[in-house]
Amino acid sequence: MTATEKAKFWLAQEIDPETRQEIENLLKNDPAGLEEAFYKDLEFGTGGLRGIMGVGSNRMNKYTVGMATQGLANYLHTAFPGQEIKVAIAYDSRNNSKFFAEAAARVFAGNGIRVHIFPALRPTPELSYAIRQLACQSGIVITASHNPKKYNGYKAYWSDGAQLTPPHDQHVINEVQKIASFAQIKTATTDELITYIDPDFDQQYIAAIAGLVLDKESIARASDIAIAYSSIHGTGITLVPPALQKIGFTNIHVVAEQAEPDGNFPTVVYPNPEEAEALTLGLQLAKKIDADLLLATDPDADRVGVAVKNAGNEWMLLNGNQMAALMAYYILKTRKQQGTLKPNQYMVKTIVTTELIDRMCAAYQIPCYNTLTGFKYIATVIRELENGHEFIGGGEESYGFMTSAIVRDKDAVAACALIAEMAAGSKNSGGLFGLLQEMYLQFGVWREDMQSITLEGKAGQEEISKMMQEFRANPPQTLGGAPVVKIMDYQALTAFDLENNTRTPLDFPVSNVLQFITASGYKVSARPSGTEPKIKFYFSVNAKAGHIDEIPATQTHLQRIIKQIKEDLNLPSS
């Protein structure tokens, strides 16, 4: 159907007066807006829904949320025949999140499914934890993570607390696609099957995080380190400060201007701790109180941004690769010192995350498994290795980390606790910056960067597709002055060795990702985002430094190489 035909199809159904009026206005006065709102159905992908809020088949609204929930409910009845089915629901601080969560709860209940819903906004990782603790078969969280304020989303989880993975993801997608009209959405008229999760559940989750502390003595010695924290108007305010207090920290300062949950995110352009601008107020507070550490979490508190003081006592932001590598290094080093590092333990990371983690795991003689981008793939490895193996950490470059398997998604609450522990342990040896220098001297200096190009709407999606087609048809021959010797195509599931002119299969799920690897060990990855209207390019280069004084010059050299690689690729502006 065309956008106009879809809009008229909506008008032919039973919809509320406000939605009807908005659709009629689009039809009469805004053909461009009509096209964007209805040119396609908001896709229920392998991670759920994410889109701009508003009327239309390509928007997040109570009807698209209702259809998604009905499809998930239908599959749950198929997957668990004859069983009492339970789901858990959480939501973040975004506009309409509570409304969408309650609407979904009523649809589940209308399908005879018992609902455990948090009584107020809570972090995504607590939802993952709750699914397993409450013995639910599934769960959802209403969030668009760190997207701009006009977005919202719907993430679906399975009984192991991880986001949907094959074959369940495709089965749910198929069921959602079968929903042909709003009349098929069953909605409860009573709250008989809807139960609010006891507020004491927070303490159970916090206690579980406290049980993950590796070095309690270091926290006891430095319990008064000054920690500045911002929840960036999101859910982290509910659990991060209490978790830090629970493990022993006594000097926590919250950024007051960003402490109140607010879906308009009034103090930031984007509520994303990956963006330096989002940490502006946090840095102001950190400088004011002469903090040892700044932590900032995104709206659903699954990602954490970090700032530390360098050797010159100047504040610097750590990127996601640096933080993931530092956390891995601390875990490996501490466990080795304590004698608790065992051969059956392992870490997991994504293919676009720094290979410094692979190098460190090899040195400590434990496996490091690589997956596609997305914590559902990391959770898949955990599930496959649950018998006889122990997951001790893993993450990705986009500020997400898992410190244990108690949660099967990225967890900024647990990550904040570990980072604070690391800061306490390194208090007298240069803090986290000193720990970073120590890691670089031992395993090489690594420099990573990411360029994200936003191309919204139908035309943007077509442009992203053309870019990937061009890279496949005409791959770069040199990058940063070094010849490209290998091309990894995760869509064709083939590794091309250009030096030997050989091709070998890749044992991964199909994904639209390309990687170019040079003779110097530089790596460039191109990946259209699955949740945002963006294409992302990841750059990774490394070199050895013989002495701590050589690290700054080495980093400058590596940054020049990344700049040259970007010029070689001739990328459009962001």
Q: Which residue from 234, 230, 229 is spatially nearest to 249, judged by alpha carbons?
A: 229
Give CA 98 to chain center in angstroms.
Answer: 21
List, in order, residues 6 or more apart from 459 with CB less than 8 Å away. none
Q: Which residues pair with 445 in a beta bridge?
A: 543
Q: In Å, how far are 312, 438, 439, 515, 569 from 444, measured between CA atoms?
A: 22, 10, 8, 22, 26
Q: How many helical (H) and strand (E) elements, i.e. helices and strands, does the chain have?
A: 18, 23
CB 437 within 8 A of CB 430: yes
Question: Strands 86-91 and 114-117: what pairing?
Answer: parallel
Catalytic annotation present for 93: no
Structure tokens given for 54: 């508003």
Catalytic residue of the set 97, 138, 145, 511: 145
Task: Please list the alpha-helical segments (H only) found in 347-400.
Answer: 356-363, 375-384
Structure tokens given for 478: 């040199």
- Largest Cα–Cα distance in the chain? 72
Q: Which residue from 501, 499, 505 is spatially nearest to 484, judged by alpha carbons?
A: 499
d(Cα 61, Cα 46) in Å, to the nearest integer? Answer: 19
* Number of other residues whose CB lies within 10 A of the CB of residue 64: 24
Structure tokens given for 537: 């390019």
| Residues noted as catalytic | 145
